[in-house]
Structure 1
Amino acid sequence: MDIPQLRYSLRQLRYFVVTAEVLSFTAAARKLHISQPSISTALAELEASFDVQLFIRHHASGLSLTTAGRDMLGLARNLLKNAEELQASARELDGGMSGTIALGCLASLAPPLMPMLISRFLSDFPGVQFDTHEAHQDDLLRGLHDGTLDLALTYSLDLEDDIAFMPLATLPPYAILPERHPLAGTSSVALADLLDEPYVQLDLPHSREYFMALFDPLGRRPVPAFRSAQPEVVRGLVANGLGYSILNFPLKSTRTTDGADFVMRPFRDEVTATTLGIAQSRSMKPRQIIKRFAEFCEAHVHALRQIPSSSGDA
């Protein structure tokens, strides 16, 4: 078998990725602890070996990536991660699995989900490291596309064809109500009962439209009395009697950080559930450690399939 002669090095690819992230030879040199001419020379050689321009050099305002440079960035990141896995695999001959997982998580999911999964995974594989990113859906998808993220824990909302999605749990929406609300004494609530009540909206991209669309069969939507992009603030506003809200991630506690309480009630209506899962770029071949973490998540998220009960327990 003939092995092709490579005209570039992993060192050049690393210089390219770092420079593409900071868009400055000077900043990249500081980050890599090498001289600026060394980076400039290495990247010029890389462009020559690929016969393609990766950067547009601006004399007064740094660098910008060409279209080819943007396309190459994700591929370069993936190749460097594969090289890291090769080295990690060699170490595993005498020890456990190791390497770094760039994990993204939807911002509203991160507090109740990500720490638990990471902690349990590290108890089995202490040699693994995590580079975590909490973001909104659009930023997570961008990170998967450009190779910044290996995988992302998120919902199946507005996914593109080039994103592979592995479902983990189906999560129906439910209402959260102040503890003293008249509907808090019922075992379930109807959307029609909430339509004219003060609505505390979880004001996140995609999420707000999903929750609002639940009311479309009624012919109109509620008008938010309060909005917040922070789930804990939403829960606090509800617990302090300022309205109701709708969530879909099961919670272990119905007490907010200020000591107030709320209750959770399922809907009597037929409502559209969301699907929690793992998103990955189809163009990136997952490393073994990424496959192992995805399998681990699939095995450990089964408990989230529960619907909040009338007692308020998730």
Structure 2
Amino acid sequence: MYDIRRLSMLVMIIDCGSVTAAAKTLGYTVSALSQQLQRLELEVGQPLVRRQPRGVVATEAGALLAGHARYVLRRMRAAESELDELSGLRRGRVSVGTFPTVGTTLMPMAISRFRREYPDVRLEVHSARFDELVSSLQENSIGISLLWDYEWNRIDEPDLSLTPLLEDPTVLVVSEDHRLGRTRHVNMSMLRHEDWIVRKSGHPVAEVLERSCRGAGFTPKIAFEANDYQEALAMVSVGLGVALAPQTAVVSARPGVRIVSLGQEAPSRRIVIAHRSDRVRPPGEHAMHQILVDVAREHLLADRPS
């Protein structure tokens, strides 16, 4: 494999018709350029130019190699141009992972901003459960993803780098005609006699309920196990019971329910951006990462009491 820099020098020498003119164009001394030409001739094993009284002309081998060199140099310039476009976010693709409960809050705002700022970059968004998102990151089928965890079960994936975005508080959801429907804040101890709607056993919010009730000194009476938050909210709306949910899961709550703050009475979940730490990340991923950070910061400011 020949040195691309020396091939470029050969093309310039042949095009200029002399080592002196090529050296002046390239900013080399005549001696330095002559040495590089000699090294290339040694690598090829035959002369590449023939010296004449007024300059040089290409030998048959020199003309052949210069022809191939021109093609290589054109392809390299094209590659540099395309890389510049990727670097300048004028083309490319970004693949992002998300999960349903932020699909109505942070992610739509981030998508809108990314498309507005980088319209020529293709954005692919994949929504999945936690384990699927982690597998997709590890398999490199997505570049970055939103993930979540709780303090007793932190994400423990050594190959993932995590950027904390925000703490997503746990809130109480009640029907609009519930005795607490017009209350802004409650304590868990006020809920010991309630019937509870909860996600199926094994879902993290079920453990949130168990820990919160245990901390308040009682065991929750389960009225219904829901398959998803929409089903849970539907059952709350008809008065079958009350429920706990992450705040981002109920921002767009259905009619007939009220959201009540629990403050620090129930554990919050942490939302993070994750990416593989061993990857060189393309510019588009860095841009989406920063947009997610900015959107999360704005979300926190919007939720802060005035």
User: Residues 146 and 268 of structure 1: is their aligned pair in 2 closer, same or farther, counting only changes over 3 Å?
Assistant: closer
Cα pair 2:89 2:283 within 8 Å, conserved: no
- Pair 1:263 & 2:261 matched: no
Q: Find out whether 1:137 has 2:130 as its counterpart.
A: yes
Matched, 1:214 2:212: yes
The equivalent residue for 1:173 is: 170
Contact 1:175 1:264 (C-alpha < 8 Å) held by counterparts: yes
Question: 1:145-182 CA deviation, whole Å, 9 max, x = no partner?
Answer: 11122111121344113321111112221111100101
Match of 2:270 among 266, 270, 275: 275
Query: Equivalents in 2 of 1:159, 1:200: separation in Å?
Result: 27
C-alpha contact (below 8 Å) 1:169/1:277 kept by paired residues: yes
Alignment map for 1:160-199 (pairs within 5 Å): 160=156, 161-199=158-196
1:91 to 76, 85, 97: 85
Kindly state the Cα deviation for residue 216 of structure 1 after the two structures are TM-superposed. 2.8
Q: Unpaired segments of 5 or more residues in structure 2?
A: 4-78
* Structure number with bigger Rg: 2
Aligned-pair CA distance for 1:184: 1.6
Q: Secondary structure at the match of 2:235?
A: helix
Contact 2:86 2:283 in 1 (8 A): no
Residue in structure 2 matched with residue 227 of structure 1 by the alignment: 225
CA distance in 1, matches of 2:171, 2:216: 17
In structure 2, what residue type is equivalent to 1:208? Answer: A
* Distance change (3 Å), C-alpha of 1:167 and 1:231: same
Correspondence 1:102 to 2:95: yes
Q: TM-score, normalised by structure 2?
A: 0.64
Query: Counterpart amino acid of 1:97?
Result: R
- May I ask how many residue pairs the two structures share in their alignment? 223
Q: Tell me how far apart the structure 1 counterparts of residues 129 and 219 of structure 2 sit (CA, whole Å).
A: 24
Instruction: Judge conservation of contact 1:88–1:97 (CA < 8 Å) in 2.
Output: no
Match of 1:28 in 2: none
Task: Give the RMSD, CA atoms, in angstroms.
Answer: 3.0
TM-score under structure 1 length normalisation: 0.62
Q: Which residue of 1 aligns with 2:55?
A: none
In structure 2, the CA distance between the partners of 1:167 and 1:184, relative to structure 1 (3 Å rule), is same
Pick one of 137, 143, 149 that aligns with 1:150. Answer: 143
Moved more, 221-230 or 171-180: 221-230
Percent pairwise identity: 19
Letter in 1 for 2:155: L
- Deviation string, structure 1 residues 245-282 (Cα, Å, up to 9, x no partner): 1122345444x1xxx32111111554322222211122
Alpha carbons 1:266, 1:308 under 8 Å: kept? no
